[in-house]
Amino acid sequence: MLLLHGAADTTVYPVNSLTLADRVRAKGGRVETIEYPDTGHVRLVLELARPFRRDGGVLDVVGRFIDDRVATAGTVAPTATVPIAPAP
């Protein structure tokens, strides 16, 4: 699992990604987390769109993550399922 978040995100707070990562790891899953400093929610998503892409940006990171997983598909343990509690 790849979790990307902006340190300045006030839509989905970075602690949510870190908590999810901890829960997945506790169940034996593999998680990579990357935090982008001074980046909010919208900026992170916009970087997936052609006009806003940067070299070494979000799309490159996602592409490398997928390439790595495809290359090791037969050797990677299945990802753990983590139940998500409903919002109060």
Residue 79 lies in a domain: no
Q: Could you list the residue range(s) of the whole structural domain that residue 13 is in?
A: 2-71
Reported pTM: 0.73
Q: Please count the structural domains in the chain.
A: 1
Residue 14 lies in a domain: yes
pLDDT of 22 higher than 70: yes
Residue 84 lies in a domain: no
Residue 35 lies in a domain: yes
Residue 76 lies in a domain: no
Question: In the predicted model, what is the mean pLDDT of residues 14-18?
Answer: 92
Residue 62 lies in a domain: yes
Residue 56 lies in a domain: yes
Identify the residue with better confidence: 70 or 18.
18
Helices (H), 2-80: 14-26, 41-46, 58-71
